[in-house]
Amino acid sequence: MGHVRNPILDGCHPDPSICRVGDEYYLATSSFEYLPGIPIHRSKNLVDWEIVGHAIDRPDQLDLSGLPGSRGLYAPSLRHHDGRFVVVCTLVGAEGDTSDRRLGHFVVTAQDPAGPWSDPVWIEGAGGIDPSVTFVDGRVWLCGTRLAEPGRWSGQTDVWLVELDPDSFQTLSEPVVIWQGAMIGAVWAEGPHLYPRPGGGWMLVAAEGGTSRDHAVCVAYADEITGPYRPDLANPRLSHRDLGNEAEIVDVGHADLVEGPDGRWWATVIAVHAENGANGLLGRQTHLVPVGWEDGRPLFAPGVGRVERTLADDALPDRAASEESAGFRDDFDEAVLAREWTAVGRMPHTFVDLAARPGWARLAASDVDASRVGDLAYLGRRLPAERGCVRADVEWSPGARAGLLLRVSEDAFFEVSVGDEDVVVRIREKGEMRVLCERRRDDATGASDATGAGAAALEIELDGFAATARVDGVDLAHADLRRLAPDGDGTFVGAWVGVVAVGAGVVDVDAIEMRALS
């Protein structure tokens, strides 16, 4: 009997979409403002995953520059057809954006999920978000969601369907509404997917209720892919909305289904881990549940009906390690950055140099700091767990400032930084900045240099929401990070952690790691 610890991916991986090719599974997730975007993971057993590439991995594919947090790449759908991987996704802009960037739905394809991926093909004539592509009998169908116009109630959302040209991926007609929710008053449909139904006909799986406590997975059926679709009378088929705020796992929804080589079915879903009613820092994560069938209807987590923290199943390997063991270390000894590293709105290689000083990552500093939208020089990755100690060994040139940054957005972060003369610990909560500690460098750590340049070990220790900032082993400030966590108020991205370089000059990073608390 295998015991698997949910979530199956470390850190913030929202909106999972899964497919199988032979005996291998592939998984894509949302990446919002971070680049490279849309990570692609691979697994042979649904439990042990490795990131093999990104569908958006070149600066000339998309323009994400200047986008605020929780905008960018929303809810990709990953499928494989005729030897080719296909990702459809939506690039969502910011309100009042005056740039000439292209927005909307696009398609990218690749023979190998590691890349290279094609340039985007933009889909005309279909608005909204969360597109999903279905290939059947030589035809290509796209479904997605959009606000009903006019809606009979606030948040009423349509799921639409349109046929695409199989060569150009362009719409062949106007989208047709095939679903308006499981019940009167249903809101915020998202993540729709269409599947052939065992025994014949079609099944629509979509999330409803928004991405917070009322999130749920609902199902509808039709004889033809074009509908009409009839709701399952037992909707929602999966939700934790009835467990209340105090549940350990909340906000369950956004399912995608896959059939294994043995004929068993599984679903990836998103869920949030909460502590005493408060969402955790990691935000929305990818979880696994088994799927059974009765009378052609899906049973998510048969006999349980819940997303479990530890999933026991004979078909899975034993991987029940606790989240406290999650961590990483990078000494930057390779010629290229590890695939886990990302940047905000631009590719890391545009400001990170691994060749200038072998064994180090050199960041060209920017005048944009963590509280601003712009070309932030931030080399970050998903925070893998909410308990552990992150340490970065850094050196900086005169005029530069080196920081260890735990980032949710430009309006929510925790940072410890060192510069020419001082050491600062600050926190920004829902746009409000507070300086928790500000000292001269020699007073704080005993380290100083007449030129202003220097070296330091920066640390952020996390124990749930409790954080401690250190420089060279000296405790400088403590903070409660509860208000940084995404809580369904329009923030969709969990915490990243990494090094930021501000000012002029460079910041060199010798190593960065996250280790479990002793």
- Say which of 10, 15, 251, 508 is annotated catalytic: 15
Per the annotation, the verdict on 158 as an active-site residue is no
Euclidean distance between CA atoms 259 and 268, whole angstroms = 12
CA–CA gap between residue 93 and residue 73 (Å, rounded) = 9
Two tokens at 7?
Answer: 């979530």
Q: Is 190 designated active site?
A: yes
Helices (H), 415-454: 441-444
Number of helices followed by number of strands (H, E) in the chain: 1, 39
DSSP labels for 250-313?
EEEEEEEEEE-TTS-EEEEEEEEEEETTEEEEEEEEEEEEEEEEETTEEEESTTT-S--SEEEE
Residue 66: HSE in the Cβ half-sphere, 13 Å Cα cutoff = 10
Alpha-carbon distance 112 to 121, whole Å?
18
One-letter amino acid for residue 50 of the chain: E
**In Å, how far from its chain's centre is CA 212?**
16
Q: What is the DSSP string of 97-139?
A: --S----EEEEEEESSTTSPPPPPEEPTT--SEEEEEEEETTE
Q: Which of 33, 57, 130, 190 is catalytic?
A: 190
Cα separation, 470 vs 474, whole angstroms? 5
The Cα 207–Cα 218 span in angstroms is: 6
- Which residues, including other chains, have CB under 8 Å from residue 331's CB and lie 6 or more apart? 359, 510, 511
Residue 442 DSSP class: H
Q: What is each CA distance from 182 to 160, 217, 218, 281, 426, in whole angstroms?
A: 15, 10, 7, 31, 45
Active site residues: 15, 190
